[in-house]
Amino acid sequence: MIKTHHDLISSWLEKSRRDLSAAEYAMTSEEVFPDIICFHAQQSAEKSLKALIVTHGETVPKTHNLGNLVSIIEEWEPGIISILEDALDLTPYAIESRYPDSDNPSYEDAKEAIQSATRIREIVLEKIHSSD
């Protein structure tokens, strides 16, 4: 059970780390599944952004749209806009990549998704640590 504000932030960040680790590990597999990798990269970025929202004492919205999350955060963290393009690139992987009637991401898409999620996570961690 999460007891403190700090525990909640840490929990979001740990979930983010695990999703990113899963995506990175999946890239090294004998059989690579780009759709699964892209999904986990998106989830990592989403959870990172939600950790930053919690850091500011706000309620986490129930959305997978990373652009919307960046817009919310921009109110307190104007520099966060630098990750908007990464956020917009990752957003479709939250839902579309999980269904058979969607376009399948490529290996290159998966590599780019991991890079985008990593950039978002690094910026978020920097902002969270600077607010301590």
Render pLDDT for 23-77 as a digit per residue (tens, 0 to 9): 999 999 999 999 999 999 999 999 999 999 999 999 999 999 999 999 999 999 9
pLDDT at 79 over 80: yes
9-16 — which CB contacts under 8 Å span 24+ positions? Answer: 9/51, 9/54, 9/55, 9/128, 12/47, 12/48, 12/50, 12/51, 12/54, 13/47, 13/48, 13/51, 13/125, 13/128, 15/43, 15/47, 16/43, 16/44, 16/45, 16/46, 16/47, 16/48, 16/51, 16/121
> What are the structural domain ranges in the chain?
5-130
Output the pLDDT for position 1: 63
**pLDDT, position 132:** 62
Quick check: 33 and 98 in contact, CB under 8 A?
no
**Is 5-130 a CATH 3.40.1010.10 domain?**
no
